[in-house]
Structure 1
Amino acid sequence: MLVEQIMKTEVITCQPHETIESALQLLNKHRIRHIPIVNEDNQVIGIVSDRDVRDASPSIFQEKNETNELKNEIQSIMTSPVMTIHPLDFVEEIASIFYEREIACLPVTKANKLVGIVTEKDMLHTLIQLTGVHVQSSQIELNVINKPGILPEVTAVLGRRKVNITSVLIYPNQNDQRYKILVFRLQTMNPTPIIEDLIAEGYEVLWPNMPGTI
């Protein structure tokens, strides 16, 4: 899946000379958490979060007449430089950027101009879609030998029951590197016949652990 498939293209932005107060108003009005700061050519030169604005705002214990912090330019608190991504980057790859750098937002640029934005919420929503948990389904987990061709062997068993596969996840067995875990989401509310077929073929079913099937 590509970034252009999940990014938001209507991006609320500020220019560096605008005030912190104007950014605060935009954050509240649009219920967003980040605002890219762009120059006159729509190039990203910084980014501001709701936390940056809160930290720069006067304390509620201060008298209104005693402070002018909100009148300062937004460029005085923006984070710069900013990491950006491209619309044709793979979502699976930028997920690692969110995790490794502990960031919550990435502007999307093309030809050095802002074209979209991706947030951690967008990434979480995409993960939910990729795993298929948003549709009514059953989950089956198998512990299989880590060898070429094992996936089509297992799906051939599933195919006998004419059940639609919503999603497939594959990850290493942390306890034994000779094996890997296959996680299937199937569009059926009664996976028992499929589980019985898999066990009959010699596969180890980790979930669901159904008494009487082994």
Structure 2
Amino acid sequence: MTFIIQSLDGHERMSIEQLFRPIVEKVQPASPQHAVSGKGKPTEDGRPKHQARTPSSASAYQVVSQLPTSKTVLFAEQIMTTPVITLSLQAKLSTALEIFQTRPFRHLPVISDHNRLAGIISDRDVMRYLGGFTEDFRQQAPHRSDDNIEHIMQSHVLAASKDTDVRHIARLFVEQHVGSMPIVTNGELTGIVTRSDILNAVMRHFVLELWA
């Protein structure tokens, strides 16, 4: 499993610790608190009466708590979209705009002549550029659609290897607001994982411990 910052200048490996926010240390369990009034008198398991488990919820809790620990892992290569619709470094902005308007894509990888990942562009990048907005949404003069893609693409791209645990990719989507994850092998683009791919994987592989 590998995460990489890929660019035309090369690549840099990224560790899990570098990518994810520090996890809050496990909180010590608090001592049971008793309600002041009789109405809130706790039950045997420490919850007020109005929060006591119903037979159905208790049954569901028991089933979930007794789920076996699984070592099953879903890898990026199992859910990635391939082949990938891409843009060349020489492509015009109008080409990207046409693809975004006619296909259900929000991100397009940009590749060099040797199929190496060189950058990525999103529909938001295109609309912001054409509207004359900077990345922090300050108004400037609108740009032309025949400008080159290379001028506005994100040139340093977070990518992953094919054997990356899908749960780590999903976590990056949520915590770091990553919109898509190109999958590379020795710098060459082999696939892409999007939010839609993650949702489809959840539907096809709906096993709770798989996503724990």
* TM norm structure 2: 0.56
Any conservation in 2 of the 1:58–1:69 contact (CA below 8 Å)? no
Structure 2 gap ranges (5+): 1-73, 133-140
Any conservation in 2 of the 1:56–1:70 contact (CA below 8 Å)? no
1:2 counterpart (66, 69, 75): 75
Letter in 2 for 1:97: L
Instruction: For 2:190 and 2:204, locate their aligned partners in 1 and report how far apart those are by CA, in whole Å.
Output: 23
Deviations, residues 34-68 of structure 1 (Å, cap 9, x unaligned) = 11011101111110001111112258xxxxxx976
Q: Hey, which of these two has a bigger chunk of strand by percent? A: 1
**Residue of structure 1 in register with 2:31 after alignment:** none
Q: How many residues align?
A: 131
**Residue of structure 2 in register with 1:176 after alignment:** none
Instruction: For 2:171 and 2:179, locate their aligned partners in 1 and report how far apart those are by CA, in whole Å.
Output: 12
Q: Which runs of 4+ in 1 moved over 3 A?
A: 167-172
Deviations, residues 91-119 of structure 1 (Å, cap 9, x unaligned) = 12222222221111011101110000000
Aligned to 1:83, the other structure's residue is in SS state strand
Instruction: For 2:198 and 2:94, locate their aligned partners in 1 and report how far apart those are by CA, in whole Å.
Output: 29
Q: Once the 2 structures are TM-superposed, how far is the Cα of residue 128 of structure 1 from its aligned partner?
A: 2.7
**Residue of structure 2 in register with 1:36 after alignment:** 109
**Residue of structure 1 in register with 2:8 after alignment:** none
* TM norm structure 1: 0.56
Aligned to 1:70, the other structure's residue is in SS state coil
Q: Does 1:98 align with 2:176?
A: no
Calculate percent identity across the aligned residue pairs. 30
Task: Kindly indicate whether structure 1 or structure 2 has the higher relative contact order, using CA contacts under 8 Å at least 6 residues apart.
Answer: 2
Aligned to 2:154, the other structure's residue is in SS state coil
Structure 1 gap ranges (5+): 60-65, 132-166, 173-214
The change in CA–CA distance for 1:97 and 1:58 in structure 2 (over 3 A counts) is closer
Q: Once the 2 structures are TM-superposed, how far is the Cα of residue 30 of structure 1 from its aligned partner?
A: 2.2
What is the alpha-carbon root mean square deviation over aligned residues? 2.3
Aligned to 1:69, the other structure's residue is in SS state coil
